[in-house]
Amino acid sequence: MTTETRPSVETEPDTALDARAGWTHEHVLDLDDFSREEVGQVLDIADRMREVLDRRIARVPALRGYTVVNLFYEPSTRTRASFELAGKVLGADVLSLTASTSSVVKGESLIDTVRTMRAMRADAIVMRHSMAGAPYLAAKHTDASIINAGDGAHAHPTQALLDLYTIRRHIGDLTGKRVVMVGDIAHSRVARSDLWGLTAMGAEVVVCGPPTLLPRGLRPQDRPSHAESALPPVTIETDIERALEGADVVMALRLQSERQQGGLLPSLHEYSQHYQVTEERLARAKPAALLMHPGPKNEGIEIAASVAGSDRSIIEEQVTNGVAVRMALLYLLSGRTELPAGDETRR
Ligand code: CP
């Protein structure tokens, strides 16, 4: 039996309370409404959560009595499992529902499903849905906290936060750092949320892919006047060699075939010939450049197996950090929950 000597969330109630001070978000729907300071607050708490996660027995009662429901209308490995672990490490009750085995198959609506979960006292509902905007609709119909775990091709804010956290752990301040995303930008909710988060933190963002996989409206001159500020500033490249030149971070993105219409690519073979992140191409980045991928990855298509398994790859660390960042988010959101009188244990 080991004796726990390291500082913990539950033994520092005053510090823990301070860590949540100033947090105003009821939901986490995307990062377009997160300031640099707010992103920094999440990442600072994630540091403390990572310390808890790395303990031999990773359990603290910070969210005892708090209920988290995972409501997934689309498949997931990393996001769903990490929210489940994040809640459990903090002592929350966690319930996971998949649409295919729920009353959704009997025709129950999204709103009714969310309201049913809230009627069972869910405090936070983590939602993945194929329709962009579904978590926003849910948030209008419940006072539980809605966390967007991916909505169509729109947003995946918790992935972006874990990406930011992972980069920060390696290179510190992101100001002026060149972050290059390569792949299917048009259909990637990760790219969209990363764009908001990275630019909020001062990074220089480059997106690279074939013209058919770059979203319309990304270039400032293509944006309709009513939507000039609808996307953050970004450099667009269709030449991967040029894009990777001097990169501090390279993110390879999967082809989102489940969201693509046909005819966007001549063939997978040609795509990988022109846009796969290979060792030779990565040599154009800075020598210490980080190689990331949100997963799931298709080695041999968007990323070479030798690159994915190389020393530069921090793909598995992204997964570990995903648990810490989701712990931080649940912890921050729990600050708005009404507790029974006299119950100070979660404060
Ligand atoms: N990155 C990500 O969202 O992975 P999952 O689809 O496995 O959750």
Number of other CB atoms surrounding residue 334 within 10 Å = 22
Work out the pLDDT band at 256, boundaries 50, 70, 90. Answer: confident
305 CA to centre of ligand 1 in angstroms:
19
Percentage of the residues of the chain whose pLDDT score is greater than 70: 87
What does the pLDDT read at residue 339?
Answer: 42
Q: Would you list the DSSP string of 29-52?
A: --STT--HHHHHHHHHHHHHHHHH
> Rounded to the nearest whole angstrom, what is the distance from the C-alpha of residue 1 to the centroid of ligand 1?
36
232-236, 286-290, 310-314: range with lowest mean pLDDT:
232-236
Nearest to 141, CA basis, from 151, 153, 154, 127: 127
CATH number of 13-152+319-346: 3.40.50.1370
Q: Ligand 1 pocket test: which of 70, 84, 159 has the largest number of ligand atoms within 8 Å of its C-beta?
A: 159
Band of the pLDDT at 272, cuts 50, 70, 90?
very high
Residues in CB range of 264: below 8 A, 6 or more apart: 210, 212, 213
Residue 265 CA to ligand 1 centre (angstroms):
24
pLDDT surpasses 70 at 270: yes
Q: Which of 177, 197, 175 is nearest to 294 (CA)?
A: 197
Check if CATH label 3.40.50.300 holds for domain 157-313.
no
> E strand or H helix at 325, and its extent?
helix 315-334
CA distance 94 to 180: 36
The pLDDT of residue 127 is 98
What are the angstrom distances between the C-alpha of 220 and each of 35, 185, 188, 210, 229?
22, 16, 19, 18, 9
Give the distance between the most distant pair of CA atoms in the chain: 65
Is 157-313 the same fold as 13-152+319-346?
Answer: yes
Q: What is the pLDDT of residues 298-313, one digit of tens each?
A: 999 999 999 999 999 9
- Pairing label, strands 178-182, 145-151: unpaired
pLDDT grade for 336, boundaries at 50, 70 and 90: low
Give the strand pairing for 204-208 and 178-182: parallel
- Cα(295) to ligand 1 centroid in Å equals 6
Return the residue matching tokens 């998949």: 98
Q: How far apart are CA 118 and CA 124, in angstroms?
A: 9
- pLDDT surpasses 80 at 2: no
The angle formed by the CA atoms of residues 94, 5 and 323, to the nearest 5 degrees, is 30
SS3 128: strand
pLDDT tens readout for residues 23-47 = 999 999 999 999 999 999 999 999 9
- The reported pLDDT for the residue numbered 11 is 44
Which amino acid would we find at residue 86? Answer: A
**DSSP state string for 240-298:** HHHHHTT-SEEEE----TTTPPTTS-S-HHHHHHHH-B-HHHHTTS-TT-EEE--S---
Give the pLDDT of residue 20. 87
Instruction: Specify the pLDDT at position 19.
Output: 83
Span from the CA of 297 to the centroid of ligand 1 (angstroms): 10
- Residue 13 binned pLDDT confidence (cut-offs 50, 70, 90): very low
DSSP 8-state symbol, 313: B
pLDDT digits (tens, 9 = 90+) for 175-184: 999 999 999 9
**What average pLDDT does this structure show over 40-63?**
96
If you average pLDDT over each of 11-15, 104-108, 160-164, which comes out highest?
A: 160-164
The CA distances from residue 309 to 178, 293, 303, 315, in Å, are: 22, 12, 10, 9
Q: Can you list the alpha helix ranges (DSSP code H) found in 147-204?
A: 157-171, 189-200
Statement: residue 200 has pLDDT above 50: yes
- How much is the pLDDT for 323? 98
Q: Which amino acid is at 59?
A: R
Tens of pLDDT, residue by residue over 117-171, are 999 999 999 999 999 999 999 999 999 999 999 999 999 999 999 999 999 999 9
Ligand 1 atom at minimum distance from 81 CA: 8
Domain range list for the chain: 13-152+319-346, 157-313
Q: Is 318 in the pocket of ligand 1 (CB under 6 A)?
A: no
Q: Which numbered atom of ligand 1 lies nearest the CA of 156?
A: 3
Residue 337 has a pLDDT of 55
pLDDT above 90: percentage of residues in the chain: 78
Classified as helix, coil or strand, 187 is: coil
**77 Cβ inside 6 Å of ligand 1:** yes
What is the model's pLDDT at position 116?
Answer: 97
